[in-house]
């Protein structure tokens, strides 16, 4: 259990490092957004926490409390960063998919970067199971 939390902290720290994410076109209708965006960074942290939870429990978290409980045994700095990220995503009103069945996803061949676990209220920004954030361009 301790190894799981240590790994969690290391991965969170890795994704919070400046320059860890590169902006590349995802496809013709979506692009990854600027990693300097605070909301996107928070989404990436939440996505990584969600993924770690799902990997460890073989099922996605059932709500925000599961994600918050996951970081209770980590260092204070990592805990604060994770809880702050959760608060940012909650405050932004993201619609999350809870309780995703990881073995079923694998069995059905669903790629983590193709599965949406969170969506902004306006539907433009999506958090993928892989932890990537995709933003759809606004059409005028």
In order, the DSSP letters of 68-121 are: HHHTTTS-HHHHHHHHHHHHHHHHTT-EE--S-BHHHHHHTT--GGG-EEEE-T
Quick one: pLDDT at residue 8?
A: 53
- Confirm whether 2 is domain-assigned: no
pLDDT tens readout for residues 18-29: 444 444 444 333
- Confirm whether 87 is domain-assigned: yes
* Span 89-100, average pLDDT: 94
- Confirm whether 68 is domain-assigned: yes
| Structure token pair of residue 125 | 């920004």
| Average pLDDT over the chain, rounded to an integer | 79
- Confirm whether 25 is domain-assigned: no
- Confirm whether 40 is domain-assigned: yes
Counting the structural domains of the chain, the total is 1
Quick one: pLDDT at residue 75?
A: 86
pLDDT tens readout for residues 29-78: 334 444 448 899 999 999 999 999 998 999 999 999 999 998 887 888 98
Quick one: pLDDT at residue 2?
A: 57
Residue 85 pLDDT > 80 = yes
Quick one: pLDDT at residue 140?
A: 47
Range of the domain at 45: 35-135
- Confirm whether 76 is domain-assigned: yes
- Confirm whether 75 is domain-assigned: yes
- Confirm whether 9 is domain-assigned: no
Position 125 confidence tier, pLDDT thresholds 50, 70, 90: very high
């Amino acid at each position: 259990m301790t190894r799981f939390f240590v790994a969690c902290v290391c991965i969170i720290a890795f994704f919070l490092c400046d320059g860890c994410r590169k902006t590349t076109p995802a496809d013709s209708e979506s692009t990854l957004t600027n990693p300097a965006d605070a909301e996107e960074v928070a989404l990436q942290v939440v996505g990584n926490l969600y993924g770690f939870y799902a990997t460890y429990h073989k099922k996605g978290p059932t709500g925000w409390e599961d994600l918050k409980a996951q970081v209770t045994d980590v260092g204070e700095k990592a805990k604060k960063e994770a809880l702050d990220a959760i608060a940012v995503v909650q405050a932004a009103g993201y619609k999350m998919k809870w309780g995703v069945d990881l073995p079923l996803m694998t069995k059905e061949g669903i790629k983590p970067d193709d599965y949406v676990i969170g969506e902004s209220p306006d539907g433009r920004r999506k958090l993928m199971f892989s932890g990537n954030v995709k933003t759809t361009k606004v059409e005028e």
